[in-house]
Chain A
């Protein structure tokens, strides 16, 4: 009987063996499956995701803030980063940014007031990404005022008020003091020189159009110069590179001749249009200088690379040259080659001085108020910064902080 039992045993063993192996394999698979599941955890998503309109902008910014994933906060390296997504008008999500671990803020700078946006943030890591709840659909708003620039507005208001105050003061007839400007006194002498030598005066108003304030200042000075020319019965040539400047200059000279009682001496050919092309104009003016040999040359207005060519050619024909421009890059050439140069704002001061117009005089005085403010704050700020950084004085540091707040342009 024992052999029968043995046979049964071995038979049972033979039957059970594959089952056991299968079970073991399943257990192994389960174990593998369990280990995979254990190695692929669900990354916790961010919470408290809020989308807010950014204040004081043109309606293109939306700010997102959230509390980082708890996995990011508790376990180092579990969260490898965050992706920010947005949908526009219910469309397909688009990824805006990938942020590092620990990030809790993002500003979307490409919004539009006419679109509706919804955002969500995905926490990334070695597992199943955690997708946050979507924000409620919202549209950015456009504000009318940026109160972050209140100080800029205040200082602009102070300077503008000063300009208006002095303009009104000048209009009421009060004499506004402007210091002497070298070169202005030479104008009459220069025109007189041209008359004595029997040679003409050449006036070049720059190469910009009537929308440039330098051209306007040059034409104002032209009024005074042409009045003197009319008085002295001299000649003037004025080549221009802009058609509107030509017509404005003709009117100015005509009015000057009329006020000098010499309307018959005026001729439209005194002012002629050459070309808009910068160096074509320069070639023509140089030719005019060499052929007509003016005794006096005025180079007043907006100039660029042609400034040195004009000034040197004028110098070569022996003319007395009075120049003026507000372009700093061209001033060195005028200073090197001309007899008198109106540096930067002196051109506008000369225009105000010669025209005696209340608006121009008032503007000049108002701008001096701005310069005064700048000078005051440069001195006070530098002293505060020097003391504050050197001795770390609290009061001075607070003054400096306030100063940076006032003059910040962000």
Chain B
């Protein structure tokens, strides 16, 4: 049975990879299996892990679970066109509760902590900072300030303000370039994992 599973996995892996050449029936079959199985899998997982284990088994000990169950049911009423408006209430509850719970945390982490960590002595104590440290400090302060200017929507990007915004977008793009390279490396590791599966687990060419 394990061998059968290996062969099915290899067949579907190569089917998905065949898309790199062009769309073909092999890819269509693999795609259809992937979509169908994943949709069915999530239905089962969400039912047993959420509804059954969290609500059905626990509702007698924790009556508050009924609140969640009722809200969840109301959300499903969106599927009934005539009373679909009722689903806005649980959605409003979720969005509002999430915003309220996280608002102060986001203020603290995304505004206060960021400002505090951006402020620094550019030249160190008694001008003791090295050249590298001074450059690093300037990059942080100038980059943060210019980036904030770029995302300021209440003023047009003209004159000195526009020039600063331009500096900001340069910083942002350079950062994105570094992030791109880093993420591509991690995606390569995923590819290596699949190639390892094909050559090692399936074909046994690599020990």
List residues of A whose CB falls within 8 A of some B CB: 149, 152-153, 155-156, 159, 177-180, 210-211, 213, 243-244, 247-248, 251, 274-277, 279-281, 283-284, 286-287, 290-291, 305, 308, 328-329, 331-333, 335-336, 343-346, 349, 364-365, 368, 370-372, 374-375, 377-379, 381-382, 384-386, 388-390, 392, 403-404, 407-409
Contacts and interface: CB of A to CB of B under 8 A. Distances in A.
B199 interface: no
Interface stretch (B1-9, B38-46, B48-56, B58-66): B38-46
Contact of A386 (B35, B109, B123): B123
Given A247-B78, A368-B153, A378 B121 contact: no
Given A375-B148, A389-B124, A336 B119 contact: no
A374 B152 CA distance: 11
B116 A407 contact: yes
Main secondary structure of the interface of B (DSSP, over half): helix
B147 to A, nearest CB: 10
Contacts of B116: 404, 407-409
The list of the 4 closest CB pairs from A to B, nearest first, reads A277-B38, A381-B119, A389-B121, A332-B180
Nearest to A274: B35
B172 interface: yes
Given A178-B153, A284-B31, 8 more contacts: A155-B107, A248-B78, A287-B23, A305-B187, A346-B151, A365-B154, A370-B111, A385-B121
A371 B147 CA distance: 10
Contacts of A244: 75, 78, 87, 91
Interface of B: 16, 19, 22-23, 27-28, 30-31, 34-39, 41-42, 75, 78-79, 84, 87, 91, 94-95, 98, 103-104, 107-109, 111-116, 118-127, 141, 144-145, 148-149, 151-157, 172-173, 176-177, 179-180, 183, 187
B38 A211 contact: no
Contacts of B121: 385-386, 388-390
Contact of A335 (B19, B94, B141, B173): B173
26 contacts: A149-B104, A155-B111, A156-B104, A159-B107, A213-B95, A274-B39, A276-B39, A277-B35, A277-B38, A277-B41, A284-B31, A305-B187, A308-B187, A329-B179, A331-B176, A365-B153, A365-B154, A368-B153, A371-B152, A372-B152, A374-B115, A378-B115, A378-B141, A382-B118, A382-B119, A407-B119
Contact of A275 (B38, B154, B156): B38
A279 B34 contact: yes
Contacts of B87: 244, 247
Contacts of A335: 173, 176
A152 B148 contact: no
A150 B151 CA distance: 28
Contact of B91 (A211, A336, A392): A211
A283 B34 contact: yes
Contacts of B84: 247, 251
Contacts of A372: 152
Contacts of A149: 104, 108
Nearest to B179: A332
A384 B108 CA distance: 22
B35 A275 contact: yes
B191 to A, nearest CB: 12
A280 B119 contact: no
Contact of A152 (B16, B36, B107, B177): B107
A377 B113 contact: no
